[in-house]
Structure formats: C-alpha cells, structure tokens
Amino acid sequence: MMKKRVVALTTAAVMALSMTACGGGGGADKTASGDKEGGLSGEITVWSWDVALAHLEEWAEKFQEENPDVTFNFEEMGVDQVYQKMTTCLQSGIGLPDIVSIEGEQMAKFGEKFPGKFEDFTDMINPDDYFPIKISECTVDGKIIAYPWDFGPCGMFYRSDLFEEAGIKAEDIVTWDDFIEAGKVLKEQGFHFDLAFTSVLKRAENTLDYILKEMGEENIEIKRSWKLNERHYGALQGLNKDETKEKYGAEQVLLWRRSTNVRPPELEETDPRYPGNDPKYKDLAKDELPKTENLIDTIKRVVEYWNSDIKPELEKGKNVIIAAHGNSLRGLIKYLDNMSDEDVIKLELQTGNPICYELDDNLKPIRHYYLKK
C-alpha cells in the first residue's frame, strides 16, 4: 500500500490535495498518474462545499481540456463533515481524497496533527504572490503545505464625510496598500472604525480579522449575528452534489440553488446538521432557527438585522465595517440598491475584493464600487 499525502489549497478556506495512490477501500485508489508519454490519466476525488466546489468544477473542466484521460469525482459536503471525514481518514490512512477544501485557520492544525500527510508546495509557490496571512496559514515547520486560492467576499461601508475631512479620495484607493494607507491616515487624524459586524461562521470572521489587523483596528467591538450567515440549504446542506442530483434530478437541484423563492427540503430537528444542535445557536428560540431557506428568506433576515442593529449605529455617527457571505451580502446589496429578484440572482460578487458604498445622510447609496479595479 502506498502512503497517501494530501495537497492543500487555502480559501477563506484552504484546500488539500494528494496525488499518490492509497489502497485499503478508499475512493481514491485510482488517483491520476502520469503515463509513459508524460500525460495524466485516472480519477481525482475532490471534497468541498458550496461556492468553492462550483469553482473547482469549472477549473476541472479546463484541466480536462488538456488532460482528457483524467476524470473528477466531486463530493459536496458541509464544512464540519469535511473535517470529521478528514480526521478519520488521516488517522486510518484510508479513503483520503485527492483535493479537499480546508479553511485557512484550520490548515495549520491539520498539518501539525498529521505531519507528512500533506503535499509540500514550498518550491512551487512564490509567497510574494499572496497575502502574507494566507501563506502563514498554509505554513507548518517552514513548509508550505497548502495552496491559497481565495478570500470570502466582504462589503465595506464607510463615512464619506470623514474621508473628505481627512483629505482622502475614495476613488484613489485601488490596491490593498492604498487601503491600508488610507486607514493609517484616518488613524493619524483620529478617525477609526467604532464597530464591526460579521456572521458566526469562521470564513467571515477570518476575513474581518485580516482587514482589522492591517488597519490597526483589532481592538474594536465586533458584533456577531447568525442573521449575517450564508444561506441555509436545508436537507441539501453538506450532501454530495452528484448523489443529490441523482435523488432529486439535476433540474430540481438547480431550481433550489438558483431561484429566489423555492426552498430545498427541510432538515429534521434530529438531524446533526440542524442549527439547534450546534452550541453556537443555543441562545436562539426554536422558531428563529432555519430548517431550510430560499434566497428571499436569507435577504429578509439580513435586512431585519440591518434595520435593527446596523442602521441605528450608523445613525449615531459611528463608523462600521461589515464582513459577511455571498448570499447575505447579496441580500444587503439588493436592499440598498433596490434591485429586482431577477437582477440579484445574476449578481456576482468578487471574492476578496471589498465593495465600498458611499451613503448620504439618509443612509441611501450615493455610489458604490469595488476597492480593487
């Protein structure tokens, strides 16, 4: 039996891959390998979730254009399920995938607990091409053991009057260095963020931590709410995408995922994936916990939180920063820009590129733009 090592890529998650064969009943004993002519053939097994998996599927198609003898087996599952299965498989050495998404802050923990199990990218990655925090998350014992590949999207709201008073032109901020420098100017002149808002999910919390650290604002108050969480996909949460399509039909699954008003099947309260079984939600009433959501449900709770918690702080003159997720940010943008249901479905948010909104005295948008052009 050959020893299998996992390769890791980092996103707001990280990603792990292994390119050597593994026996003993795992699904990856047909891992892609080179043939006599130097081409690749075989099967690559991928574990990931939601949006990350969708992007990997796109990349796989491009990869297969040059390597037609390689097939991919994509398994969609929830974040916690990925970690549970990875731990079990790493302990036994059986059933490891070839590629797996792992959140940045979790990568070092896996690398330290299971040394030698992850591919070494040190000679393949130029650290200068990535944010330092992403490289540090992927480095264990001086080796880069994961491949950083994205940040979760976040939105940025700021006081345009304070920028004007400090002599900062928002349109001049086109790079992260510009953004950090603007933060330093605000700090030097006594301006700062008073408050931060984020979800209770690690991806958004990590994105917020990075921004605040770079701006020297690590000590501001942070308010976390499940109402800024990513959309809840009900009984589809964490399921293998291919199995789900086979059970319900590809057309029905697409309808659940892309429509604004159709909900996937509900989770049973006895299901381990039900939020009521997670300690993070122990203080919430049962009727507050979603068993499934469509996009409109997600938008409704985000707007409720905007009006109940975020807007009053802005009206007090406080400077706030918000870090959330793709669908929760879509909900807030739909509300602020008065978008139609049809338009919000088409709305694509750039990963890791903050959206800046300039608001007037009534908190209505003056204009918005991405920080990095």
Residue 303 dihedral angles phi and psi, to the nearest 5° = -65, -40
How big is the CA angle at 132 (ends 323 and 230), to the nearest 5 degrees?
A: 25
Residue 366 dihedral angles phi and psi, to the nearest 5° = -90, -45
Mean pLDDT of the chain: 79
Query: To the nearest whole percent, how much of the chain has pLDDT over 70?
Result: 79
The CATH number of 7-148, from 3.65.10.10, 3.40.630.30, 3.30.70.100, 3.40.190.10, is 3.40.190.10
- Residue 343's pLDDT is 86
Average the pLDDT over 216-224 and give the result.
Answer: 88
* Bigger pLDDT: 195 vs 371: 195
Query: Could you tell me the residue ranges of all domains in the chain?
Result: 7-148, 155-230+294-370
How many Å apart are CA 51 and CA 358, to the nearest integer? 28
- Residue 30's pLDDT is 46
| CATH 3.40.1180.10 is held by the domain 155-230+294-370 | no
Answer yes or no: is pLDDT of 176 > 80. no
How many Å apart are CA 184 and CA 192, to the nearest integer? 9
Task: Give 96-143 pLDDT, tens digit per residue.
Answer: 999 999 888 788 889 899 988 888 999 998 988 888 888 888 899 999
Q: How far apart are the first and last CA of the chain?
A: 50
At residue 21 the predicted structure's pLDDT band, cuts being 50, 70 and 90, is: very low
SS3 311: helix
Q: Are 339 and 332 in contact (CB under 8 A)?
A: no
Structure tokens at 6: 């996992």
How many Å apart are CA 153 and CA 149, to the nearest integer? 13
Write the CB contacts of 278 (distance below 8 Å, at least 6 apart in sequence). none
- Residue 7's pLDDT is 41
What is the total residue count of the chain?
Answer: 373
- Residue 23's pLDDT is 30
Q: Are 31 and 15 in contact (CB under 8 A)?
A: no
- Residue 31's pLDDT is 52
Answer yes or no: is pLDDT of 9 > 60. no
How many Å apart are CA 78 and CA 28, to the nearest integer? 20
- The mean-pLDDT minimum among 310-319, 324-333, 347-356 falls in 347-356
Q: For CA atoms 135, 146, 243, 55, give the dihedral sign.
A: positive
Answer yes or no: is pLDDT of 249 > 80. yes
- The mean-pLDDT minimum among 87-101, 171-185, 302-316 falls in 171-185
- The mean-pLDDT minimum among 184-188, 201-205, 231-235, 353-357 falls in 184-188
- Residue 182's pLDDT is 63
Task: Give 271-313 pLDDT, tens digit per residue.
Answer: 888 888 888 888 888 888 899 999 999 999 999 999 999 999 9
Same fold, 7-148 and 155-230+294-370: no
Answer yes or no: is pLDDT of 188 > 70. no
The model's pTM is: 0.52
Average the pLDDT over 146-159 and give the result.
Answer: 72
